[in-house]
Structure 1
Amino acid sequence: MVRYALTRAALLALGLVVASVLIFATLRVLPGDVAQMIVGTEGTAAQAARIRAELGLDQPLIAQYLSWTGGIMRGDFGDSLLTGSPVLGELADKARVTLPLGLLALAIAVVIAVPFGVLAALRRGRPSGAAIGVASQILAAVPVVWAGMMLVVVFAIALGWLPAQGFPRGGWRHPGAALESLLLPAITIGVVEGALLMRFVRSATLTALGQDFVRTAAAKGLTRTRALLQHGLPSVGLSVITVLGVQIAGILVGAVVVEQLFNLPGIGRMLVADVGSRDLVKVQGELLVLTGFVLVVGFVVDLVHHALDPRQREAS
């Protein structure tokens, strides 16, 4: 187990290095000049050159990259090119919205996917099972933006149960209001991602029902449901855990869209604004944090899967 964890940790570190290189290189080919944006349309070429030198943008790209990554290793993500504020501080502040939103959306997705996915497998070949399958395909194909607008129309405008936009000015100092403002955006992401996850749960449940030990338990007098619950759920759980690692990336992409739609001050909304203003230092820090989060989740999922699956433990 220790050797496996060290191997995965080395791959995680390599993945972060590759991600940092790709992010840095990709942002450097974007059109536009940050220095010119800072001095404005009335600024001269000399002023723009002075700003470029002050920000280090006139240095070779390799020097800029090493300076950026060296700062990250010291816990310094740099300062915003436009506002001068520390990037890490702004990321921590915005994460107070994005992280709870993602966790709440993930919980909603699991609550939707697991029971309905198992039920669809148990009811395979019956009208109820077919209805669940059709519903999951429809919901999985719905764009997040359209789903969010429909939920706003129903729950915010027609029923008035939840706020349509915004986040409390006091943030989590008002936990009830903060949670209420995140509920509708989280449902928007959770319903779509839950429909995708439901199909994997159904497939994993059908596979478990076909295993010899489940069929043997059913032959000894247990119903299919009880045989699945007592003997098949561990294999279903392993499949779900594996897929959840992939779902995290989908939830983060959904958060970028949903934060715009619901006017939430999270990392996704900040990222879109910073790309528009070409604040390279902030954008590359935001992208690296989001990419790193996905890689770390994948690393944790691998370790959990390895610890729970006896076949992998024996192979290693």
Structure 2
Amino acid sequence: MVRWIAGRVLSSAVTLLGIALLIFVAVRLMPGGYADVILGPLASEQQRAEVSARYGLDKPVFLQFFLWLGALLGGDLGISMVTQAPIADELALRLPVTGLLAAMSLTATLLAGVPLGVLSALRGGEGRGGTAGRLVSALGISLPEFVLGSAVIYLFSRFALGLRVGGFASGTGGFGATFQALLLPALVLSVFSVAATARTTRDAVLGVLVEPHIAAAVGRGEPPWHIVRHHVLRNVGIPILTLLGSIVAYLLGGAVIVESLFNVSGLGSYMISGLGRRDFGVVQATVLLTAAAFIVVSLLTELASGWLDPRVSTTRKAAR
């Protein structure tokens, strides 16, 4: 297990290095640069050259990358070219907001997606309940966040439906006000993940229900909900955990759109602002932080899978 964890940490470090290189090159391949955005189209070449030299953008790209990577390894995320403020300080203010938004969406996913999937599977997918469940799941998976979010903003702004749109102010009003302001964005963000979790749970439960040990439990006369709790849910934990690792990545990525729609000051809106202003350091740091969070969650998911099902750990040992 120690060797496996060490190998995963090493592969994660290599993955982060690759992501750092890709995002560093990608932001510099976008049309226009920081000097073009700040100075506008009427600026002279001398003015553009002065701005590029001030921020080191006139150096070769590979040299810029190694300088940024060296500072990153030393714990320095750099300075925003637009605000002249340390990027680490801004991330420290915005990370709890995006983390709370993702945690609320993940909680809604577990509380709604898993029970819906179990109930749909126990009904066998037959009747109006099963058909409605499949239709709702398909609609939730196929509906983009910006379409759903725009519709929700219109409805809750036009009619008094109990939840307030907007009004988010980071660091003011306490946890209760922050939770209330993030509730609607979190629900919008969780629609896809609830639908995907419900469908995955349904398929997993249907696969477990045909196993011989379920037939043996029925033959022993065990109550139906006792069979579900002790035999079915325990065996569907692995596919649900595997899916949740991907859902966390989706939630972090979907937060970019949802935070922009609902004007939430999180990592997503910070990255969008950096992209629009060609603030390279902001985009690089935000993407790298999000990728690191996803890698950590994936590692924890694999460890939890081995704890829930010892066969997973045995398979890893056999592979080594």
TM range (shorter): over 0.9
| Mapped contact 2:167–2:181 kept (Cα < 8 A) | yes
Map of 2:139 onto structure 1: 138
The aligned runs of 1:48-197 (5 Å cut-off) are 48-127=48-127, 128-168=129-169, 170-171=171-172, 173-197=173-197
Map of 2:299 onto structure 1: 299
Structure 2 residue runs of 5 or longer lacking an equivalent are none
For residues 231-262 of structure 1, what are the alpha-carbon distances to aligned partners after superposition, in whole Å with 9 as ceiling and x for unaligned?
Answer: 22222111111100001121122211111111
Question: What SS class does the counterpart of residue 166 from structure 1 fall into?
Answer: coil
Which amino acid in 2 is paired with 1:135?
V
Q: How far apart, CA to CA, are the structure 2 residues paired with 1:199 and 1:5?
A: 31
| Mapped contact 2:141–2:195 kept (Cα < 8 A) | yes
Q: How far apart, CA to CA, are the structure 2 residues paired with 1:166 and 1:253?
A: 23
For residues 2-61 of structure 1, what are the alpha-carbon distances to aligned partners after superposition, in whole Å with 9 as ceiling and x for unaligned?
Answer: 121111111111111111111111112112121343445564322322222221112221
Of the structure 1 ranges 177-186 and 293-302, higher mean CA displacement relative to structure 2 is found in: 293-302
Alignment: residue pair count: 315
Of the structure 1 ranges 53-62 and 234-243, higher mean CA displacement relative to structure 2 is found in: 53-62
Of the structure 1 ranges 69-78 and 111-120, higher mean CA displacement relative to structure 2 is found in: 69-78
| Mapped contact 1:124–1:130 kept (Cα < 8 A) | no
TM-aligned CA deviation for residue 188 of structure 1: 0.5
Question: What SS class does the counterpart of residue 184 from structure 1 fall into?
Answer: helix
Q: How far apart, CA to CA, are the structure 1 residues paired with 2:60 and 2:192?
A: 44
| Mapped contact 1:122–1:225 kept (Cα < 8 A) | no
| Mapped contact 2:237–2:308 kept (Cα < 8 A) | no
| Mapped contact 1:122–1:129 kept (Cα < 8 A) | no
| TM-score calculated relative to the size of structure 2 | 0.92
Q: How far apart, CA to CA, are the structure 1 residues paired with 2:137 and 2:19?
A: 33
Question: What SS class does the counterpart of residue 104 from structure 1 fall into?
Answer: helix
Question: What SS class does the counterpart of residue 159 from structure 1 fall into?
Answer: coil
Q: How far apart, CA to CA, are the structure 1 residues paired with 2:148 and 2:223?
A: 38
Q: How far apart, CA to CA, are the structure 2 residues paired with 1:41 and 1:246?
A: 42
TM-aligned CA deviation for residue 119 of structure 1: 0.4
- The CA RMSD over aligned residues, in Å, is 1.8
Which amino acid in 1 is paired with 2:153?
V
Which amino acid in 2 is paired with 1:159?
A
Of the structure 1 ranges 194-203 and 284-293, higher mean CA displacement relative to structure 2 is found in: 284-293
The aligned runs of 1:281-296 (5 Å cut-off) are 281-296=281-296
Q: How far apart, CA to CA, are the structure 1 residues paired with 2:42 and 2:152?
A: 46
Of the structure 1 ranges 43-52 and 256-265, higher mean CA displacement relative to structure 2 is found in: 43-52
TM-aligned CA deviation for residue 192 of structure 1: 2.4
TM-aligned CA deviation for residue 211 of structure 1: 1.9
| Mapped contact 1:12–1:299 kept (Cα < 8 A) | no
| Mapped contact 1:156–1:162 kept (Cα < 8 A) | no
Of the structure 1 ranges 20-29 and 301-310, higher mean CA displacement relative to structure 2 is found in: 301-310
Q: How far apart, CA to CA, are the structure 2 residues paired with 1:312 and 1:123?
A: 30
| TM-score calculated relative to the size of structure 1 | 0.93
Map of 1:267 onto structure 2: 267
Map of 1:31 onto structure 2: 31
Question: What SS class does the counterpart of residue 146 from structure 1 fall into?
Answer: helix
Q: How far apart, CA to CA, are the structure 2 residues paired with 1:149 and 1:59?
A: 43
Which amino acid in 2 is paired with 1:31?
P
Map of 1:256 onto structure 2: 256
State, as a whole percentage, how many aligned pairs show the same letter.
33
| Mapped contact 1:144–1:257 kept (Cα < 8 A) | yes
Q: Does the alignment pair 1:47 with 2:47? A: yes
